[in-house]
Structure 1
């Protein structure tokens, strides 16, 4: 009965989404206040209905109601409770309900916290959100019904993919969806602005917090996904330029460009047409990622659906959303003239360079991701585009961006003094040279690419610290006064430096891991010892253990350095009988400076075991850098000047407007 109520509320939510997407648009065009005021109420009602449907689906998983097809196909009575909970979105139908719920959540947030938005504009924003919700609710109900019943009901389920039975699944997909779906708000703001034919500094102030929230969530979601792949899949790496990984990375690149472009619109009233286009393209890339994951054109550990009918439906949604928005943009964009002029050497010029490089990088990743699919669809040979292509094309585009970043953050608006800015970056330059020399002394990082990576990471990190010191007046005023000035900096300014510092730390971690990794693949017998990057690793034992819903062989590795014990690491080869699938669980010992990463493989006929041993330097720096970037977004959102909406007008002005 609860499942039927959930299905009914999902149908009601689709009806409400239709009303939300049509009547407020008509009311805003005809200046009919009741229809305009309908938009926030409809958004809140849609969120309530989708929440009830989501709770009904959650209840079915927790209660192991195998009369629902989705529970039967993706759960089992012996599955631990945590994975019954996270398994709600560990499949196509459930993840789509999560997607719609987050979409409704953002619409409700605009309804509640967008109080300073002009009412007709707010109605148009919520109407566009309603139309997006209508499309995805129809997709869920007509092609991916999560409440479909089985008759007769099976006694037990088929289980969940063992790779997805991990605590990371409870955090990675929701965070990733918050980023994906969050960019729909920026898209809705852009469409509302195009409908009204007006983009100004107020619009940029309104759209920035929503874009920032989505960017922050997507940053953390990608980092969590990379971390999950690192500690779960057992291949010793963290990023493989998988097409579905690229599907989340492309909206992040475009969203980063959008964040910086919106600053120019707000501060200088220029780049308006370009910023609107970026808002459209960012969400379009998020929809493209949805198509790749759910169309069946990809085979990946990340992909959910293989039903071609679902792919056609998503492709139709993609065509309507992208085609319609670009058509409206082509009609309205010529009227969105920019404001003040600026010199090439200026803050505007630096942000424009940032946008051009990020847009080119996005196009490069898009080409490498889609070209094999297009070639296969046209009957050509099957090819794969992997890390060699992306490393050779994407990384060179990032070099000028990273080189210009510290100076671009310090240069003045309209017309800048580049020699003066570079002179103030002297300490950062000296520190970068010191890091470069230190890296050159390390035998495992003498490659040109490695040295460039260390120099770029150090330059961005130290340049951001240098920029904060210059803002606060260190070395110019008394230290006590400089500390007071540092504490008094706007949170948005502080968060910018924090985000750039996080990027520098991230680059250092990626460079150290990519160029300094030590790998040994060999066969070991219990009691045998091998050397690994200055450590002595002994396979102490291999024993049989029983998990809650799996059986495993557990390898115990004892690690020493110069004869002194360091740690003990356990790696398992698990077998899930319900799903009849083996899963490798690597053993990892982490410190701030390195990871010891051990993987137990299959036994050989002579009693030895296949093992893979890795020493990965500075891996934690990657996750720490991404965490700093996410924290920077959160700090910026707490800035009073960047709250949702424009500044509240004075009482007299409000009365005059009324």
Structure 2
């Protein structure tokens, strides 16, 4: 019954309708803002809501087709199968090019609907222009979806069963990774729209910075979580034993994150000091432009990767034209209108503003290095026909040295006052973090191998302790300890969120330092053999056949002993999917949050009665993703602060005057 109502034909009609509504959402509110016609400006919200509703219907039609095994839809036939578990039938909707493009359009429409719903406090003209820019961008992607990537194309004759999805994608981690990642990618369309609207109006002020900031925080949090989830997926599914491989498509997601982090910090300066206005507008354009460029690179065939969706030059040409229109148009508008933006307030180099400028310079420098290393091979292939590879050594030797001063300044920046600072108070507040970092540096020099791991461990502790020192100073930790919980409750959640995000960065750095000390071996073993890795003794008990829902597996059993104590039993496997005639490896991981025991089952040699095993002990590996989770949670905690969401203080409540310390007053002012 549901499949008869939510048919593919209805889905295609809803997609075409959403494109028409998005076009009107773009044209009419812009016309109303230019001519100061309130009716046309107010129409922006209605068009945004209608476009979102149409795309919800279109996406629901595709989900129903996948869930009911409607193999007359080519997208379902190519990416699903009767035996595929229902979870992956549904999540597989966005595990392919056409479905992921439709999801991209849906999230972009949701951004327009969110601005319409939560932007009622914006000036009418600015709100109309922001929603219009989002509508124009959505119309371009919906045209792309209709003409080159229609998810509702029919297959004739309809096959009795589908081909099934890529087995590598049949995993919970990747099932939920794309929506979160896309929410981050597409979320930066809102700051981009605010930037274009500000250029059209010729005005950027503290209010503009206050409006842009929550949308930037939300997009940054989603993108942080999405990148971390993708990194975790590659760690435990691909079986490479690492966490980041400088894969070109990984870099394509890292670039908007770096620029988005810079945008987040520069928007604070616009809000507090009305400085860096032109730079912040440019960052908003650059961040979303990098998000769109990543989409082009993944879908054009220029970058080949395990993450790539498609290899279709025709689609690449369409997206390239769309990029030229969106990015080229916005940069042309910036070049024309940026000179009319008034300069902001002045500040001393040694100040909170100065530390945020340093943050921007270093983040953008890292982004420039990553962009150069990612794009150099395809450009050389285009210009000279040379196949060149830029691997991890280049990125490690160029990007990592820039990250060191960035982390060093991360602890000190939040402790500096606005406009002008003095060195002595800063050093006094950094005594404890500095002493602990120095102790870790000394211990690391004795116990760790390599200069960079030692420095990374010290910097991780430095950043974490700096975040704690920031909160301790804000609440006046030396006062009566009995009132400390209440003073913490009075502290703005935005300050707590920022400190949590910084501490999360420190935790991730400690995880990276630990992973640099990992131990691993590749061995050929028989049942009963014992292998020593990282001080642990691994015993292969045997290999057995196991049947899965749509695959057959060979599963090994490994006992891991520390001394004479059994600490883990691991079951790495190799799965064969008959529908695709493809074999994948299934990693086995045992973690205690301090280190991971990590096993991969390789090829079997029946004539010798052996199997190939890759065994790892990865110290502090979970901290990499725990830190990323803390960063995303820090952003969410900041968004829970009403002052960040709507730019207004929390309604007055009865508070004990004795709990209002000078530090808390300063925190509230920030």
TM-score by length of 1: 0.97
d(CA) in 1 for partners of 2:545, 2:68: 31
d(CA) in 1 for partners of 2:650, 2:168: 50
Q: Is the 8 A contact 2:642 2:648 kept in 1?
A: no
Superposed CA offset, 1:504-537 (max 9, x none): 0010001111x21001011010010111112110
Secondary structure in 1 matching 2:598: strand
> Do residues 108 (structure 1) and 113 (structure 2) align?
yes
> Do residues 641 (structure 1) and 643 (structure 2) align?
yes
- Describe how 1:479-628 pairs up with structure 2 within 5 A: 479-513=481-515, 515-604=516-605, 605-628=607-630
d(CA) in 1 for partners of 2:484, 2:579: 63
Cα 1:143–1:644 shift into 2, 3 Å:
farther
Superposed CA offset, 1:12-58 (max 9, x none): 00000000000110011001111111100000000000000000000
d(CA) in 2 for partners of 1:204, 1:231: 40
Query: By how many angstroms is 1:568 displaced?
Result: 0.5
Per the alignment, residue 656 of structure 1 pairs with: none
d(CA) in 2 for partners of 1:196, 1:226: 41
d(CA) in 2 for partners of 1:323, 1:12: 27
- Describe how 1:176-215 pairs up with structure 2 within 5 A: 176-215=181-220
d(CA) in 1 for partners of 2:171, 2:336: 49
Per the alignment, residue 167 of structure 1 pairs with: 172
Per the alignment, residue 655 of structure 1 pairs with: none
Query: By how many angstroms is 1:419 displaced?
Result: 2.6
d(CA) in 2 for partners of 1:578, 1:563: 44
Q: How many residues align?
A: 645
Q: Is the 8 A contact 2:21 2:50 kept in 1?
A: yes
Unpaired runs of 5+ in structure 1? 650-658
Per the alignment, residue 249 of structure 2 pairs with: 244
Q: Is the 8 A contact 1:114 1:645 kept in 2?
A: no
Q: Is the 8 A contact 1:571 1:598 kept in 2?
A: yes
- Describe how 1:286-297 pairs up with structure 2 within 5 A: 286-297=291-302
d(CA) in 2 for partners of 1:530, 1:407: 47
Cα 1:625–1:549 shift into 2, 3 Å:
same
Per the alignment, residue 322 of structure 2 pairs with: 317
Match of 2:33 among 28, 32, 56: 28
Q: Is the 8 A contact 1:115 1:645 kept in 2?
A: no
Per the alignment, residue 448 of structure 1 pairs with: 451
d(CA) in 2 for partners of 1:27, 1:5: 32
Secondary structure in 1 matching 2:546: strand
* Alignment RMSD: 1.3
> Do residues 94 (structure 1) and 102 (structure 2) align?
no
Query: By how many angstroms is 1:589 displaced?
Result: 0.3
Per the alignment, residue 397 of structure 1 pairs with: 402
- Describe how 1:328-343 pairs up with structure 2 within 5 A: 328-343=333-348
Match of 2:460 among 446, 457, 462: 457
Per the alignment, residue 369 of structure 2 pairs with: 364
Per the alignment, residue 77 of structure 1 pairs with: 82
d(CA) in 1 for partners of 2:424, 2:389: 46
Match of 2:472 among 463, 469, 485: 469
Query: By how many angstroms is 1:363 displaced?
Result: 0.7
d(CA) in 2 for partners of 1:299, 1:268: 44
Unpaired runs of 5+ in structure 2? 652-670
Q: Is the 8 A contact 1:540 1:557 kept in 2?
A: yes
d(CA) in 1 for partners of 2:50, 2:647: 22
Q: Is the 8 A contact 1:257 1:354 kept in 2?
A: yes
d(CA) in 2 for partners of 1:389, 1:501: 28
Q: Is the 8 A contact 1:116 1:648 kept in 2?
A: no
d(CA) in 2 for partners of 1:463, 1:210: 26
d(CA) in 2 for partners of 1:287, 1:326: 14
Secondary structure in 2 matching 1:378: helix
d(CA) in 2 for partners of 1:406, 1:567: 38
Q: Is the 8 A contact 1:193 1:199 kept in 2?
A: yes
Q: Is the 8 A contact 2:274 2:344 kept in 1?
A: yes
> Do residues 429 (structure 1) and 434 (structure 2) align?
yes
Q: Is the 8 A contact 2:643 2:650 kept in 1?
A: no
Per the alignment, residue 42 of structure 1 pairs with: 47
d(CA) in 1 for partners of 2:537, 2:364: 47
d(CA) in 2 for partners of 1:596, 1:407: 36
Query: By how many angstroms is 1:487 displaced?
Result: 2.5
Superposed CA offset, 1:433-490 (max 9, x none): 2222332332xx2210111111111110111111211222223x22224443233111
TM-score by length of 2: 0.95
